[in-house]
């Protein structure tokens, strides 16, 4: 049975464009904060030689939620969850020997061509 797909093109108005840009900025902020927290947790686990302190998707997400500032509450919590989940997937791909082209996750910048 063939899989059918549909491409849907959306044409956002000015207000929708603003909201999408704000959500993309917040997503990038969550990715960068999550990556910093992940790197700190990983370095701490290596320094203490304690595998129980290794970072995971849930530990990083809980850390970010615990340290949320007031302005972050205006955005959907789902944005933070998906950013941390994508970060978790990136780390899994990096450590997977079946994916030799997967690079170590990097910080995202606003000027990156792929947003």
Mean per-residue pLDDT for 11-17? 95
- Residue 37 placed within a domain: yes
For the entire predicted model, the pTM comes to 0.84
Tokens found for residue 48: 């203490």
- Residue 115 placed within a domain: no
- Residue 57 placed within a domain: yes
Mean per-residue pLDDT for 61-87? 94
Neighbours of 55 (CB within 10 A): 21
As a whole number of angstroms, the distance between CA 113 and CA 93 comes to 22
DSSP letter at 111? Answer: T
The answer for residues whose C-beta is within 8 angstroms of residue 72's C-beta and 6 or more apart is 26, 80
- Residue 40 placed within a domain: yes
- Residue 12 placed within a domain: no
Residue 43 predicted with pLDDT over 80: yes
Domain span at residue 85? 25-95
Domain count across the chain: 1
As a whole number of angstroms, the distance between CA 61 and CA 93 comes to 19
Pick from 101, 106, 64, 109: nearest CA to 82: 64
């Amino acid at each position: 049975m063939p899989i059918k797909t549909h491409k849907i093109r959306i044409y956002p108005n000015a207000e929708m464009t603003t909201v999408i840009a704000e959500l993309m900025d917040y997503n990038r902020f969550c990715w960068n904060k999550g990556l910093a927290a992940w790197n700190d947790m990983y370095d701490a686990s290596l320094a203490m030689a304690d595998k129980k302190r290794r970072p995971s998707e849930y530990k990083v997400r809980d850390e970010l939620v615990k340290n949320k500032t007031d302005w972050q509450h205006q955005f959907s919590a789902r944005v933070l969850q998906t950013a941390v989940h994508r970060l978790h997937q990136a780390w899994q791909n990096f450590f997977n020997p079946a994916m030799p082209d997967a690079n170590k996750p990097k910080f995202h910048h606003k000027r990156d061509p792929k947003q």
